Amino acid sequence: MALVIAQALMAQARPDSFSDLVDKVSPAVVNITTSTVVARGAGPSPIVPEGSPFEDFFREFRDRNGDGDRPRRTSALGSGFVISEDGFVVTNNHVIESADEIIIEFFSGKELTAEVIGTDPKTDIALLKVETDAPLPFVTFGDSDTARVGDWVMAMGNPLGQGFSASAGIVSARNRALSGTYDDYIQTDAAINRGNSGGPLFNMDAQVIGVNTAILSPTGGSIGIGFSMASNVVTRVVDQLKEYGETRRGWLGVRIQDVTDDVAEAIGLEEVRGALVTDVPEGPAADGGMKAGDVILSFDGTQVQDTRELVRQVGNTEVGKSVRVMVFREGKTQSLKITLGRREEAEGAVPAAQPGADNGGETSSQEILGLTISPLNEELRGQLELESDATGLVVTDVDNLSEAYEKGVRAGDLITEAGQQEVTSMSDLEDRIAEAREAGRKSILLLVRRAGEPRFVALPVDAETSE
């Protein structure tokens, strides 16, 4: 009897047909055709040695079939959907990027020319606008955070240029990250192919919970692993593009890395979570008193689990807002008040340089923690192309069997801090190691810079300090 009830419930959960949903949303889904003028000579050409008997043949063939190097027009296909009756259309940035002309084709067959209101390459979202006298059918966004793995979804778009097409599947996974800073993808097995890019992913309430953006495939065709940018990311971007024509993300002004088990142990952090600050260049965080070595535990009242979560929280916060940031520093928590800047204005900013210091006159190398280390001198400064005010200890060699090597430390790296204190001499480093041992630490935290990029590495201190 229980089996019969379970089967009945499963049958009830499975839709008999998606036809009503398709009928409801199709008028708001659009095909997008773009055209771009490109230089004829931009593509690859056969390489023929000068004086070869084939030289004249290839020149004549190219001129006959390609009209020499004259520009030519190329076209591309994609999908999108209308989000307002006055003609705002959402699609992927890569669908319309560099396009000279954008044509929107509606389900009715009507075509309109669109203009670009704004784009956001970081989330691959673009907002378009068409002018129309009559109100357009449109669809609304749903709350992607309520989508559960196993929920039914339907993708619509223009796969392989075949025109309006629907495919159904389930939410296969949530919170997928591909390569971007603000990625929050819904994975689905609904068929998504080339041309589906920019099309909507619907839930069963006819709400858009994702924008179909990418597929994972060894063949280039759908194998049931598609990705849609979550609507809760898209709506924030669209609202800003509509209001400003560009994005305006909050900026904290720090470089960060995830907290690992050994890093947490090295600094005495009981819970392995948060974002470890590796550098604080000039900016909002520096003005608010944040320091390299701080672990950000909460931002604006919300706990921080890892770097990805912090980046999204900051980016979604209003520019100019003053927020409370809780950090872990030297065994205690501390609250900082920081007024956020704007990320778009800060991108490409150069981190503040470290203050200069004397190396104490040391010139000899020592082996410690599996590393061969030398004080920074003018010769090494020149070899590593370091600024004149750079300080620290230079790694000249790494034992291939050491934990330091396993954790990515390499010759040429510059150690600027140990135990969250600046080091400029071998005695500084030895003192920090001794302090870590006396405090019962199993590891010591080193701040390592490579080509100016900082990161923290925790190394065990249970070995001898020198050999």
CB atoms within 10 A of CB 133: 4
Euclidean distance between CA atoms 193 and 211, whole angstroms: 13
> Which among 124, 184, 279, 413 is annotated as catalytic?
124
Q: What is the per-residue DSSP string for 180-234? A: STT--EEEE-S---TT-TT-EEE-TTS-EEEEEEEE--SSSS-SS-EEEEEHHHH
Of 250, 405, 387, 388, residue with least CA distance to 316: 250
> Which among 26, 84, 94, 399 is annotated as catalytic?
94
> Which among 172, 197, 222, 228 is annotated as catalytic?
197
Residue 197 known to be catalytic: yes
Euclidean distance between CA atoms 295 and 290, whole angstroms: 10
Residue 228 known to be catalytic: no
Q: What is the per-residue DSSP string for 345-391? A: HHTTPPPPPPPP---TT----EEETTEEEEE--HHHHHHTT--TT--
Long-range contacts of range 144-148, CB-CB < 8 Å, 24 or more positions apart?
144/184, 144/186, 144/209, 144/210, 144/230, 144/231, 144/232, 144/233, 145/230, 145/232, 147/171, 147/174, 147/186, 147/203, 147/209, 148/174
Residue 358 known to be catalytic: no
Active site residues: 94, 124, 197
